[in-house]
A and B are shown apart, each in its own frame.
Chain A
Amino acid sequence: MSKEFTIALAGSPNSGKTTIFNSITGSRQHVGNYPGVTVEQKTGLKKYKDYLIKLVDLPGTYSLTAYSVEEVVSRDYIINSKPEIILNVVDSSNLERNLYLTTQLIELDTPLVIVFNMSDILMKIKEKVNIKLLSALFGAPIVQTVGNKSKGIEELLGIAAQVFEKTPERKKIIINYGEEIENEIIKIENLLKNNNDLLKKFNLRWLAIKLLEQDKEVISHLRDTLDDKSFYNLNKLFVYSINHIKNVMRDSPEVLIAEARYGFINGALREAIVDKNDNDMPLSDRVDKVIINKILGLPIFIFIMWIMFQVVFKLGNYPVNWLTIGLNKLSGFLNAVIPGSLLKSLLLDGIIGGVGGILVFTPKIMLLFIFITILEDSGYMSRGAFIMDRIMHKIGLHGKSFIPLLIGFGCTIPAYMCGRTLENKSDRLITMHINTFMSCGGRLPIYILFAGIFFPENSGNIIFSLYIIGILMAIAMAKLLRVTRFKGEAEPFVMELPPYRMPTIKGVFIHMWERTWQYIKKAGTIILALSIIMWVLFTFPMIGNKYSQNYNEQLKTLNSSYVSGSIAKDAFEKEVLKIEKKMAVEKIEYSTAGRIGHFIEPVFKPLGFDWRLSLASVTGIAGKEVVVSTIGTLFSLVKTQKNNTELNSLIAGTYNPLTGYNFMLFTLLYFPCIASLAVFKKEAGTKEMIFQIFFTLTIAWVVSFIVFQIGRFFI
């Protein structure tokens, strides 16, 4: 029987926490959510000797205040789920700031193991480091690791097991906040002591400190759990304490407490570490001289974005083509093997045409996610936010809004979730509302199809132009929303610019795969179901012999005149094709889908869309990828056996480039998909979600209307 225990991983952003997590668990990971919130929770299992260890990756935070949802989630997890061990991952090239979180973890009173990650850098930048002494001062074992080389992981697990077995005995460390504050802590603790429930759940000293820090979450928790009289007394006491401290120390308790924590850290570091005597400018600073230079910063940023699109669209073409060829071969094979029937039509036109048509774009999505992950892991992402802050500020947004907006280019769903990094509600809602205009990966297949058909010479530029229009639209709408619905100033921008780091291949791969897998899963499940539904709508009711003309008779006549030699072969085949096309169109128009398309056509007519594009736009609500499969189905049904004209030339023959471009524009501008709306509702509430629907539909319609009506005069 193996012994089980849980380790929670805590650490600041950029401490290498995720690398350590990946090193320990490998690919055995599960991604879920913390209860009640949309903060991602990654868990993993590890067998070590005869232990079964469950690892929980807490969100990266600098602190355990109530500043952000992530911080609250982290400490709630530690308090409520009581993991056996906390593994505090620390960036050892940046000890002072990273250990600030450690001082707060110590106060939560859970057995702690401190991980000095990137310890190779520590040894390089310091003359001497006394790990043993540091470990004694912080009351927790310290393990040195180099996460990106998986160094020290075995030792880490060994020590965790020892701590679990409670050998050696844990020494309790108390950070002293000075006489004034300590007195008040004791007073509050004494008052709280009478309550058994609190005693069971919390460390009272921690609770007292939080009250002095005026932690809004802790205060509201106590207001809800204590009876009125006890809370009244408690409230009176800690408000008195805070004022007392302010009077005597002439500074607020939270500042004094922070000072004491840094004091504690500095004292420990001074005792245990001997500094080197050189003042070389770190490489990161030298790089930053160029990267966030006031003249070069923005051009470099735009250049990096441009490279990203070039690689994704140009390089990504090759694997997409291979997959398309493979898929065609598969269709051809099945076509030959399976006898003609409804089932065959369902399989070939419905499922392979629908799901396959989307899965072939996976390589491009993967490349995009690889890029975004590299930007995140290398440390450039926060520089991007920094460079963008001035511009973002001008349009009434926060520099940080830039990151969800950038992620929106991949998928809008994680982008909405990422909006949580914005602490201010107005900033967050504006960012979410305009995130739609950041063209997501799901729209990409539409662009690739249409730009390839109508603008084969510069499809890259055409697609780029759509992204730019999306961005301009986002800017305009952000401004509009700021002066109408969400008045007020954007939150001040404060963000760490971590040292540059080489992303690890493993880390990039794991992260990319997680995101890609979500995309594939969506294609595999939702889109499979929708493809089948769509096929049914396209197939039934069947036209039978209710054609407007007697096409079969016409075909017969043609055939006999060909046999008798009164018509040439070329002309004969042309005529047959013409008739077959007419038949196919009537067949679809007779089906349920065709009727829906015709029914809504008047709404889309002013935009230049016929009933087919109208129908595709409606099915796009289910997911933008579905637009391509709808169009695929609409046109592949026209395909006859004698005529192997590809989808592309069929579409090219049906619409002009203006309509093609306008259709791409329309799909760009209205909300991404039904799944994204569900997330929107969860993040921002029903009212905002409904606003999002009408807001984006209106804009999409109006813009496409203007473009089509003006464009008509030029072609």
Chain B
Amino acid sequence: MDILVFVCAAAMILCGALGVVTLRHPVHAALSLVLTLFGVAVLFVAQNAHFLAVAQVIVYAGAIVVLFLFVIMLLGVDRVEDLHAEPFKVQRPLAIVSGVALAGLLIAAVVASQHTNVAARGAGLPGVNPVRNDLHDGNIVALSKDLFSGHVLAFELTSVLLVIAVVATVLLARRSRGIDAAPTDGQAT
């Protein structure tokens, strides 16, 4: 049963990811991203991480992809980038070769490691808090404990990062007030 769920979800994820890269139309690409994100959510459910699965669907598949679609619509659905211009002819074959090699490497590594019982060794470590499945919201408890004790500083500081991201975005999008349109000199050129 487990293996069946895993294979299906993994196939969803991979197909979605391939679609994002290969599909020409931006809307189609965004939609196949949804497929990937749903696949991940399924995997979360299979691991009993219900809260993460829900968050995944609501935040990623719901909010973020919708945002993507908005932006695509605003910029114009029919705009297609010409991706055929190739300054270096070798790039694409080289990328394919190295991609395949990397995939082979990953598979080899996983195959080589499959007989090592990782979980057994990891469980004894002090940093691991096994999720308590006897509580119906054990997920949330474990997650919040993690966020608000061990990782509280990183968690809190991420908020500053979000503010900065907003500042940077506003700056990028803001129309110039004429001053920065002045030609820059050759100071660093």
Partners in one complex: no
